[in-house]
């Protein structure tokens, strides 16, 4: 079964309209397709997200897609709620909580804009110590569900985005793993579902999804729940690597993943 709840459009940094994305999803055979445009984040330099003046039209477009595909594909209205925005608004079907940036004493640190910006930020705000930066990132991540009140944890280990092959730090370093596991254990106390997110793969940054194997193993051991997300930004990537993501999950011993259905959250057997 194909389902995805993480979708961007040309309301923010996606390439295509809500209607075009819904059409592409239906053509690809999706049973469930959710829209999760970036929440309004004026404090992130150069990236305001979905500004309040655009929200009503985004909502209308998604509701129109819901009507268009009624009985054929479940369409859901969501937001990818950034931790800096605060709690998700009422009236959504669901929300994904994500840390794309966080507050430091020196200013806002942006995690996923570019490798250069990440490295520059580590120099400016953390005296060049990547592990201090990672610690601060996961401290913010540990609070993402409490702050956003979201249902889904977006790309838990986004701080790995530019670290393919250990390019910036050692993913086996206890300073990395302790910070990640502390945040993970905090989030596992909530009901939130963790994404397996293939968005950085479809855009050429990574060759495997978030979360990385060490984190996947711990989510499984501790009974956490997962969903599969393409985090798509264009019509050609709506289903990117989702079948493989199911196999990736099964490889860690998961026997099901979760998505939304007409009656709320539903489990899909692996
Ligand atoms: Zn995101
Ligand atoms: Zn996203």
* Model confidence, pTM: 0.98
33 neighbors 7 (Cβ within 8 angstroms): yes
Number of domains observed in the structure of the chain: 1
Please give the Cα distance from 44 to 58 (Å, whole number). Answer: 21
Average pLDDT score over residue span 50-78: 98
Token pair in block for residue 118: 């990440």
The owner of tokens 């501790």 is 222
DSSP 128: T
For the CA of 41, the nearest ligand: 1
Please give the Cα distance from 19 to 79 (Å, whole number). Answer: 16
243 Cα to the center of ligand 1, angstroms: 21
Q: In this predicted structure, what is the pLDDT of residue 68?
A: 98
Token pair in block for residue 148: 């956003």
Please give the Cα distance from 112 to 118 (Å, whole number). Answer: 7
SS3 95: strand
Residues with CB under 5 A from ligand 1 (ion): 98
CA 234 centroid distance within chain = 16
pLDDT of 73-125, one tens digit each?
Answer: 999 999 999 999 999 999 999 999 999 999 999 899 999 999 999 999 999 99
Question: Rounded to 10 degrees, what is the CA torsion of 179, 208, 250, 219?
Answer: 10
Domain holding 72, by residue range, is 2-269
For the CA of 144, the nearest ligand: 1
248 Cα to the center of ligand 1, angstroms: 20
pLDDT of 156-181, one tens digit each?
Answer: 999 999 999 999 999 999 999 999 99
Q: In this predicted structure, what is the pLDDT of residue 45?
A: 87
155 Cα to the center of ligand 1, angstroms: 7
Q: What is the CATH number of the domain that holds 49?
A: 3.20.20.140
């Amino acid at each position: 079964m194909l389902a995805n709840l993480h979708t961007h459009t040309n309301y923010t940094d996606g390439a295509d309209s809500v209607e075009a994305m819904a059409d592409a999803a239906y053509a690809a055979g999706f049973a469930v397709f959710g829209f999760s445009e970036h929440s309004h984040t004026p404090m992130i330099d150069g990236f305001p997200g979905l500004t309040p003046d655009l929200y009503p039209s985004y909502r209308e477009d998604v509701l129109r897609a819901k009507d268009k595909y009624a009985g054929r594909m479940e369409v859901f209205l969501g937001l990818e709620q950034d931790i800096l925005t605060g709690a998700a608004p009422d009236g959504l079907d669901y929300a994904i909580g994500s840390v794309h940036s966080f507050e430091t004493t020196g200013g806002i640190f942006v995690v996923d804009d570019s490798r250069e910006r990440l490295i520059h930020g580590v120099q400016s705000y953390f005296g060049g110590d990547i592990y201090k930066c990672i610690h601060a990132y996961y401290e913010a991540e540990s609070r993402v569900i409490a702050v956003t009140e979201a249902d889904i944890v977006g790309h838990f280990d986004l701080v790995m985005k530019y670290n393919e092959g250990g390019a910036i730090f050692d993913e086996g370093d206890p300073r990395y793993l302790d910070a990640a596991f502390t945040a993970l254990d905090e989030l596992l106390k909530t009901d939130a579902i963790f994404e397996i997110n293939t968005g950085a793969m479809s855009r050429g940054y990574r060759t495997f999804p978030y979360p990385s194997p060490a984190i996947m193993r711990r989510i499984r051991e501790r009974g956490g729940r997962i969903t599969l997300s393409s985090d798509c930004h264009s019509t050609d990537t709506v289903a990117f690597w989702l079948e493989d993501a199911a196999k990736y999950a099964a490889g860690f011993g998961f026997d099901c993943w979760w998505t939304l259905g007409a009656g709320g959250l539903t489990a899909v057997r692996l």
